[in-house]
Chain A
Amino acid sequence: MKTYDYGSASSIRQALSQDGAYLAGGTTLVDLMKLEVVTPTRVVDINSLPLRGIHCTPLGLRIGALERMADVAVHHEVARRWSMVSTALALSASPQLRNMASIGGNLLQRTRCDYFRDVRMPCNKRKPGSGCPAVNGDNRMHAILGTSAACVATHASDLAVALVALDASIRSQDRHGERLLKLADFYRLPGDTPSVENQLRPGELITEVIVPALDWPQTYVKVRDRTSYEFALASAAVALDVHGGVVRDARIAVGGVGTRPWRLQAVEQALRGKPATEDSYLEAAKLAVVGAQPLAGNGFKVPLVQRTIARALAGAR
């Protein structure tokens, strides 16, 4: 690990004034510092900040950015009213990592692309302009949606997929004040600048996640190489509003296939007014892969994500 200064911030104002890398659970930051993928000169421990609390109101859910994944995953009211959030969290990482990792940190976790994580390799995300070995290399785990010639890395968060489906927002602060951002707009496509992954400004801190109420049956389905403790090959967060056997409305986002959490409004639109049957789900899911650009190693994700969506829609409770 490259050396750095370390301090613990006792107030948000103090944290914002430090110009350092924020340390919450450390499951991404410490990992990447050890690999020297990130080399901050200053680390600001934010765990003493008052960014806790899980508040459920009739209008929605507010989660403090420092709440741990494990605590949100087992929260009864969250499980009852936003089950896709609890399920996505429960299917993430391992119990130890869920005990450690914060909600804000989860949304900022970096891609698991092996080229990104290996400083001996070129990577446009880590070292702009150095190239992308994944485009013609080992790309089985990589994205088919939202890719560019510069980067095909998948966004790794399960939670973010559920939150994008639920139209969640994040509250953030920097030295100039506070703002609210829709999570769907927060993540950027890689384009020519894959090193810029989101709209966060230098020193800006996520303080809270805000999720509107949605009382439709919902679920999160994650397909992976092993039963547990693995990143998604494809995942789907869905909520479905069905009356008299007909779909009135739907919310759908997918993970494991996009360079960012991928909302599928075209599929949602195609489902409205259709019978709530597996045939309708499979038919609508075809629209998920319009414009998909499979690579040599990940063509299987094209049919897989469609079936994952259909399975999730059939299983929404």
Chain B
Amino acid sequence: MAGSVSRRGFLGSAAAASVVGTVTVAPGRAWADAVPPNRIRLSVNGKAYEIDADPTVTLLDALRERFGLTGTKKGCDRGQCGACTVHVDGRRVVSCLTLAIACAGKKVVTIEGIAAGDSLHPVQQAFVDCDGFQCGFCTSGQIMSAVEVVAQGTARSDEEIREAMSGNICRCGDYPNIVDAIKQCRVDQNRGAHS
């Protein structure tokens, strides 16, 4: 796109967050410390971000509205659709029911953080190869879930994969291709192990 103003920036929801130089963790403040810190630092995709310590802000809103990381999507905002799935300390969670302030000192990974430079993560590549999406709105959540499912390696049959992915709703109904993408990752994993 020509010019340096993105659509999202133009619409005025540009990130208000500042990226600070080092990854400093603020461990959960003990209540005895009385005055809550008025800034909190979050580690997202290995970078440190700092925001006002508003305890009512969800991780999802912090990512999208404060940090400009809009790859994570807001679907139902009720913990029912999985579009907002991210990893916190290596486990997939729904960021809409996670308080940002409770993530201080934890490692958050979003869809923006799984590729290695220009090389897609194997799960991202598998979704491309298998057409694992149609409209794409649920896809970042699907992929973040699939990364955990592939890493755990316990879901093998179609039925097991569907159960392991049941927290991610796709209203386009692209489930068969999503299952195929996860199976392709498993095949690639096994090839990798033998090569």
Contact = CB atoms under 8 A, between A and B. Distances in A.
B94 A95 contact: no
**A interface secondary structure, majority:** mixed
Interface in B110-164: 145, 148-149, 162-164
Contacts of A1: 56
Query: Lowest 4 A-B CB distances belong to which pairs?
Result: A94-B167, A8-B28, A6-B55, A228-B166
Given A23-B99, A33-B56, 16 more contacts: A1-B56, A6-B55, A7-B31, A8-B29, A9-B31, A10-B30, A14-B31, A14-B32, A30-B99, A31-B97, A47-B102, A95-B92, A95-B164, A95-B166, A96-B85, A100-B97
B36 interface: yes
Contacts of B97: 26-27, 30-31, 97, 100
A18 B99 contact: no
Contacts of A43: 55
Contact of B145 (A6, A18, A96, A100): A96
Interface in B25-68: 28-32, 36, 55-56, 58
Contacts of B149: 95
A99 B92 contact: yes
Of the listed residues A6, A33, A43, the one surrounded by the most CB atoms of chain B closer than 10 A to its CB is: A6
B93 A48 contact: no
A78 to B, nearest CB: 16
| Contact size range, A | 35 or more
Of the listed residues B32, B79, B98, the one surrounded by the most CB atoms of chain A closer than 10 A to its CB is: B79
B171 interface: no
Contacts of B91: 70, 99
Contacts of B174: none
Contacts of A47: 28, 102
A143 B193 CA distance: 52
Interface in A23-62: 23, 26-27, 30-31, 33-34, 43-45, 47-48
Nearest to B148: A95
A5 interface: yes
Contacts of B36: 5-7
A70 B164 CA distance: 12
Contacts of A4: 55-56
Given A97-B79, A100-B94, A26 B31 contact: no
Interface string A207-247: 00000000000000000000111000000000000000000
Of the listed residues A3, A7, A23, the one surrounded by the most CB atoms of chain B closer than 10 A to its CB is: A7
A96 B102 contact: no
Nearest to A11: B30
B98 A45 contact: no
B34 to A, nearest CB: 9
Given A4-B55, A30-B99, A95 B145 contact: yes
A298 B162 CA distance: 29
Contact of B99 (A6, A93, A97, A227): A6
Interface of B: 28-32, 36, 55-56, 58, 77-79, 82, 85, 91-94, 97-99, 101-102, 145, 148-149, 162-167
B58 A96 contact: no
B11 to A, nearest CB: 24
Given A6-B36, A96-B85, A27 B79 contact: yes
Nearest to A9: B31
A3 B55 CA distance: 8
**B interface secondary structure, majority:** mixed
Nearest to A15: B31
Contacts of A6: 36, 55, 99, 101
Interface of A: 1-10, 14, 18, 23, 26-27, 30-31, 33-34, 43-45, 47-48, 70, 93-97, 99-100, 227-229
Nearest to A68: B91
B98 A9 contact: no
Contacts of B58: 30, 34
Contact of A31 (B28, B79, B93, B145): B79
28 contacts: A4-B55, A4-B56, A6-B36, A6-B55, A7-B29, A7-B30, A8-B31, A8-B102, A14-B30, A14-B31, A23-B99, A26-B99, A30-B58, A30-B98, A31-B79, A31-B97, A33-B56, A45-B28, A94-B82, A95-B145, A95-B165, A95-B166, A96-B82, A97-B94, A97-B167, A99-B93, A100-B98, A227-B163
Contacts of A99: 91-93
Given A95-B166, A96-B93, A9 B99 contact: no
Nearest to B90: A99
B167 A26 contact: no
Nearest to A45: B102
Contacts of B101: 6
